[in-house]
């Protein structure tokens, strides 16, 4: 299975202190990569687990609600590891309210973090990767890249934007050695979905619609991330891979 081997590769994962980001960072390390952990909260526990797996790691403080830290995230990673091969854009937020009551602040916060900073991180990492003629970018999209959701208009808009942007960048960069793809996680038990899990009615409705019959765990996303970050995905470009227990098939 050497085509899934990431030995000697250097990765960035944003928002890796918890949830899906932590599971992806760990999986990349287990596959052999050194991993920079960029986020607004220090990912100390994830860093300890990566070090225990025998890989190098670096913690980068970056509040991605603005684009200000984007270049520094790339520069610090290259400074620490001497290279950059993989970017996983995972950091994201969600705000819930009826569309009629939705505030401009909640619109901007979600678009800025989930789409604008994601694009400029792709740009900064992409420039480096294009220079070396190789690289893998994995954006974390959502089922709401395909559907509208309920009471989450800015999230649906941002994640649909992530899907479109993933294809747009793939069109520009596929011929130059840089693969840009996305993962659309289904309903995964994390902080992001705590309110849904706690709402008895929504929780039951969601479970009834998932053919796999359970919420996903963060580790359910890890294998797809390793695949898209690895040489096994060299001919996969601009794809949004649903990992959703079958939700979209219903
Ligand atoms: P989570 O546990 O809330 O993790 C989100 C991560 O993003 C955290 O590390 C968080 O840091 C970080 N983050 C948020 N705002 C940030 C900012 N301004 N600057 C830097 N980092 C920031 O949720 P999750 O479910 O693992 O979400 C990870 C990704 O998966 C998100 O893009 C989310 O939209 C996507 N997703 C999740 C689901 C799901 O069902 N859970 C489904 C589809 C897509 P803090 O800990 O400091 O907040």
Ligand 1 within 6 A of CB of 15: yes
Contacts of 219 (CB under 8 A, 6+ apart): 23, 27
pTM, whole model, 2 decimals? Answer: 0.98
> Separation of 109 CA from ligand 1 center, angstroms?
13
Domain presence at residue 249: no
CATH code assigned at 131: 3.40.50.720
Domain housing 149? 2-189+219-241
CB 86 within 8 A of CB 138: yes
| Count of beta carbons in the 10 Å neighbourhood of residue 82 | 9
> Which residue's CA lies nearest to atom 23 of ligand 1?
192
Domain presence at residue 206: no
Query: CB-based burial of residue 123 (10 Å sphere; 0-12 exposed, 13-18 middle, 19+ buried)?
Result: middle
List the Cα angle 11/226/115 in 5-degree steps.
65
For the chain, what percent of residues have pLDDT higher than 70? 100
Domain presence at residue 205: no
Q: What is the count of structural domains for the chain?
A: 1
> Separation of 102 CA from ligand 1 center, angstroms?
20
Domain presence at residue 198: no
pLDDT per residue as tens digits for the range 178-198: 999 999 999 999 999 999 999
Cα 237 from chain centroid (whole Å): 16
Of the residues 155, 187, 215, 247, only one is catalytic, namely 155
Domain presence at residue 156: yes
| Catalytic annotation present for 155 | yes
> Which residue's CA lies nearest to atom 13 of ligand 1?
91
Instruction: Sort strands 86-89 and 57-61 into parallel, antiparallel or unpaired.
Output: unpaired
Q: What is the pLDDT of residue 241?
A: 98
Ligand 1 within 6 A of CB of 170: no
**H or E element at residue 74:** helix 70-81
Q: Counting atoms of ligand 1 from 1, which one is nearest the CA of 17? A: 9
Q: What is the pLDDT of residue 193?
A: 94
Ligand 1 within 6 A of CB of 66: no
**Per-residue model confidence as pLDDT tens for the chain (250 residues):** 699 999 999 999 999 999 999 999 999 999 999 999 999 999 999 999 999 999 999 999 999 999 999 999 999 999 999 999 999 999 999 999 999 999 999 999 999 999 999 999 999 999 999 999 999 999 999 999 999 999 999 999 999 999 999 999 999 999 999 999 999 999 999 999 999 999 999 999 999 999 999 999 999 999 999 999 999 999 999 999 999 999 999 9
> Which residue's CA lies nearest to atom 43 of ligand 1?
142
């Amino acid at each position: 299975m050497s085509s899934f081997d990431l030995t000697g590769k250097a990765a960035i994962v944003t928002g890796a202190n918890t949830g899906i980001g932590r599971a992806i960072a760990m999986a990349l390390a287990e596959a052999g990569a050194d991993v920079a952990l960029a986020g607004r909260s220090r990912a100390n526990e994830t860093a300890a687990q990566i070090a225990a797996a025998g890989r190098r790691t670096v913690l980068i403080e970056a509040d991605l609600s603005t684009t200000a830290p984007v270049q520094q995230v790339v520069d610090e990673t290259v400074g620490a590891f001497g290279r950059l091969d993989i970017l996983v854009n995972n950091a994201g937020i969600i705000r819930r309210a009826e569309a009629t009551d939705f505030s401009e602040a909640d619109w901007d916060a979600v678009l800025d973090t989930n789409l604008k900073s994601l694009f400029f991180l792709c740009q900064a990492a992409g420039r480096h990767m294009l220079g070396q003629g190789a690289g893998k970018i994995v954006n974390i999209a959502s089922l709401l890249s395909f559907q509208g959701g309920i009471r989450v208009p800015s999230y649906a808009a941002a994640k649909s934007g992530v899907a479109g942007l993933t294809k747009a960048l793939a069109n520009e960069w596929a011929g130059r050695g840089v693969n840009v793809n996305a993962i659309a996680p289904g309903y995964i038990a994390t902080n992001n979905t705590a309110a849904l899990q706690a709402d008895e009615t929504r929780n039951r409705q969601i479970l009834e619609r998932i053919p796999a019959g359970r919420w996903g765990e963060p580790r359910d996303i890890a294998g797809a991330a390793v695949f898209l970050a690895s040489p096994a995905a060299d001919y996969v470009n601009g794809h949004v891979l649903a990992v959703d227990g079958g939700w979209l098939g219903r």
